[in-house]
Every structure is written in C-alpha cells, then in structure tokens.
Amino acid sequence: MIVAIDGPAGAGKSSVARRLAHRLGFQFLDTGAMYRAITYAALRRKLGPQDHDTIAEMAQRVSLIMHDDRVLLDGFDVTALIRTSEVATQVFLAADNRRVRERLVQLQREFANSNDTVTEGRDQGTIAFPNAECKIFLTASAEERAGRRHAELKQRGEAISYEDVLAQLNERDRRDSEREYGALRRAADAIDVCTDGLTQDQVITKLEGIVQKRQRELTLV
Ligand code: DC
C-alpha cells in the first residue's frame, strides 16, 4: 500500500508522515530530503542556476540512499547538512530541473516498489504515485507554518527572524505551485487535512483513521 502525503512547505508533513509510518509499520520516504540532497551536492560543487545541465547530469551519477531516516549522498551522511536555510532557499536548483525530477521520481518508485510506504512531498499523489491507494493533502496557514519552521530553526541555532522565515516560505510556496513540471497540486482523489490548531498527535490520529478506513475499503473490494 502507498500512502502519498502532499502539501506546502512547513505543514508538518515529514514529522507527521514519519510517525504515521512507524505506527502503521510502513517504511517512510521524505522526498523533500532528496531534492535537498541534490541541491546540497550542487552547492558543494559551486553550481548555480546557469548550470542546469551539469546539475541534471550530476543527479544521474550521484548515489542517493534513503535509509532509516538518514540521507546518504555518495556514501556520506548529509542528513543534518541538508536542513540549512541556504539549502532551502536554493532548492529550486534541483526542484525546477525536469531531468532531476525524473531521476528522483524513478528512485522514489524503486524505493516503494516492494514495501508498504508512507511517502511525502509535493507531487507524490499526482506524478510519482498516481495510483497510490491513499492520498492526503496536508495544509496549514502560511503564518502557522512559518511559526513552526521558525521555532525549528531557532532550536537548531540558526539566527533568522520570523518575518524572514515567512517571506522565504511564501517565496517557496510560489515556486512550488508555479513549477512547470512536478508543481504542488492536490490530486483529485486526495483527502484534505488542515492542521491549523491541531497538535501533532491529533493530526497523526486523524491520518491513521483515514488510512485504516481505506485499508478496510480495499479488503472489501
Ligand atoms: O519538504 P521540504 O521542505 O523538505 O522540501 C524541500 C523542497 O523540495 C521544496 O521546496 C520543494 C521541493 N520538493 C519537490 O519539488 N517535490 C517533492 N516531491 C518534494 C520536495
């Protein structure tokens, strides 16, 4: 079974999806981390927007392994290194590159090929897994999302104001929804869940209920 969770940046997708996967006994895939890892690799090589083809070729060559919450890039653990706001603001280098997207979608399908999976991102229910058995569109207001992300960055010791986080988030929302290929879109058969005012536990319980209902429907057919 594939549970595809899509939604804008900062809606709490990755922590919620990770815990949901754990509860269900499914494996978990954070596809944003894959785009971040390619961006990190590009920045390390001092590549920029003008290096579109070089970044696409690099994405074909690098080894990217998602394993047990860790992200391994050419064998190096980059899990923490891809979480900076520098990577977040430059992530379009990977996300706007059609060939990078095709490569990552291919890796995502291979990952989910043989095990029940909870996957989260922007295009999981639309492009990567259009036949996913359960699709969820997770949202929250921009202010709530910026507040959460700001607290997260502060905890990690990054000095950035709430206003700057909100501005970055709005810019990322714009890019995510205007992207030519793989844009953030709600799949027609996705179930909407708004997390405003809900605790993480409440969101997970809600999602678990949705998945279990779907599992019952599937066994009835
Ligand atoms: O979920 P996140 O903030 O870690 O994602 C980082 C960026 O990667 C996000 O701004 C858009 C991009 N992304 C994407 O284009 N497609 C996905 N399936 C996941 C993320």
8 Å CB contact between 138 and 195: yes
Q: What is the pLDDT of residue 145?
A: 94
Q: Total domain count for the chain?
A: 1
Report the predicted TM-score, pTM, of the whole model to 2 decimal places.
0.92
Residue 9 Cβ inside 6 Å of ligand 1? The answer reads yes
Q: In this structure, is residue 193 part of a structural domain?
A: yes
Q: What is the pLDDT tens value at each position of the chain, 221 positions in all?
A: 999 999 998 888 989 999 999 999 999 999 999 999 999 999 999 999 999 999 999 999 999 999 878 999 999 999 999 999 899 889 999 999 999 999 999 999 999 998 999 999 999 999 999 999 999 999 999 999 999 889 988 998 988 999 999 999 999 899 889 988 889 999 999 999 999 999 999 999 999 999 999 999 999 76
Q: Which domain holds residue 63?
A: 2-215
8 Å CB contact between 95 and 35: yes
Q: In this structure, is residue 101 part of a structural domain?
A: yes
Measured in angstroms, how far is the CA atom of residue 214 from the centroid of ligand 1? 26
Q: In this structure, is residue 183 part of a structural domain?
A: yes
Q: In this structure, is residue 221 part of a structural domain?
A: no
Q: What is the pLDDT of residue 12?
A: 85
- Report the nearest-CA residue for atom 6 of ligand 1: 32
Would the CA dihedral through 124, 127, 133, 137 be positive or negative? Answer: positive
Q: In this structure, is residue 62 part of a structural domain?
A: yes
Q: In this structure, is residue 159 part of a structural domain?
A: yes
- Ligand 1 pocket, mutate which of 5, 6, 15, 35 (most atoms under 8 A from CB): 35
Residue 149 Cβ inside 6 Å of ligand 1? The answer reads no
Q: What is the pLDDT of residue 53?
A: 98
Q: What is the pLDDT of residue 105?
A: 98
Measured in angstroms, how far is the CA atom of residue 137 from the centroid of ligand 1? 14
Q: Which atom of ligand 1 is nearest to the CA of 120?
A: 18
Q: What is the CATH number of the domain that holds 97?
A: 3.40.50.300
Please, which residues bridge with residue 77 across strands?
72
Q: What is the pLDDT of residue 220?
A: 74
Measured in angstroms, how far is the CA atom of residue 176 from the centroid of ligand 1? 8
Q: In this structure, is residue 38 part of a structural domain?
A: yes
Q: What is the pLDDT of residue 221?
A: 67
Q: In this structure, is residue 19 part of a structural domain?
A: yes
Q: What is the pLDDT of residue 172?
A: 86
8 Å CB contact between 6 and 57: no
